[in-house]
Structures are given as structure tokens and as C-alpha cells.
Amino acid sequence: MPMEKLLICVAVSVLLLGASSHMAGHLALAGDGGSQRADKNTSSGTASVHPTGDNKRGEELYNASCVVCHGPRAAGSIGPRLAGNPILSNEQAFWKIVYEGQHVMPPLKTALTEQQMADIQAWLKTLR
């Protein structure tokens, strides 16, 4: 469990590092079976095929795993500030970084379910 928390913290840290990176291609991701799906246009104009996140569950997941590096309410600490970060609105970049990892952040596709990632993202989007 401590390793999962570390991986989650590192993953979210890299989200900020990758915000300015060039992201190409679309990931074909397997669903987690029981999650809700949303087909809506993102800021990039592409349709999202990821689960709809639950911000209440996302806050719980964040506080259990991410707060160590990113601080209370994602204000930043050891890891970068996530509250209000533009990467949260770039679906393609967000999911690519979380799934594949980037720089020092390892891939989280085996540490978290797609639904858990969507829940955390949904909560982070409520912060300013």
C-alpha cells in the first residue's frame, strides 16, 4: 500500500511537468467494467471515452494517496500544485501521463483503476 501511495503522488506530480509537453496520439484504454462512460467533447475537441469521475470519491482517494506529495487541497508541497492546473482540462495529456508515466513518474495503469483516476481528476477539477 505505501508503494501505491508513492506511485500516485509521483503520477500526479508528473501531470504538471507534462502539461507543456507535446502529446500525440490517442490511447486505446481498457475499461474497468462497471464504470460510467462519458462521450463528451473536451477542450481539445476530441471525444472522451473515460469514466465519469465522482469528485467525492476522488477527494477520499486523493487524501489517502496524493496529499503526502501535493499537500492539502492539492496546493502543492513536495509535488507541484494541482489545484487549477491546466493539465486537468487536457484529457489526452492527463490520461497519457497517468497511464504511461513521464520523467520520474512511473505508469499507474496497474496501480489504480481507470475509475479511481477519473474520480481523482474530477475532484481536482473542483479546486481553484
Q: The domain spanning residue 60 has which CATH number? A: 1.10.760.10
Beta bridge partners of 51: 37
Q: Please give the DSSP secondary-structure letter assigned to residue 47.
A: B
Q: How many domains does the chain have?
A: 1
Structural domain boundaries enclosing 76 = 2-18+52-125
Q: What is the reported pLDDT for 82?
A: 86
Please check whether residue 31 lies inside any domain of the structure.
no
Write b or e for each residue in 17-27: b if 16 or more Cβ atoms lie within 10 A of its Cβ, otherwise e. bbbeeebeeee
* Regions of the chain with pLDDT less than 50: 14-44
Establish if 117 belongs to a structural domain.
yes
In a domain, 45, yes or no: no
Q: Which residues of 53-86 are buried (b: 16+ CB within 10 A; e: fewer)?
A: bbbebbbebbeebbbbbbbebbebeebbebbebe
- Supply the pLDDT for residue 97: 81
Q: For residue 61, is it within any domain?
A: yes
In a domain, 113, yes or no: yes
Residue 51 DSSP SS3: strand
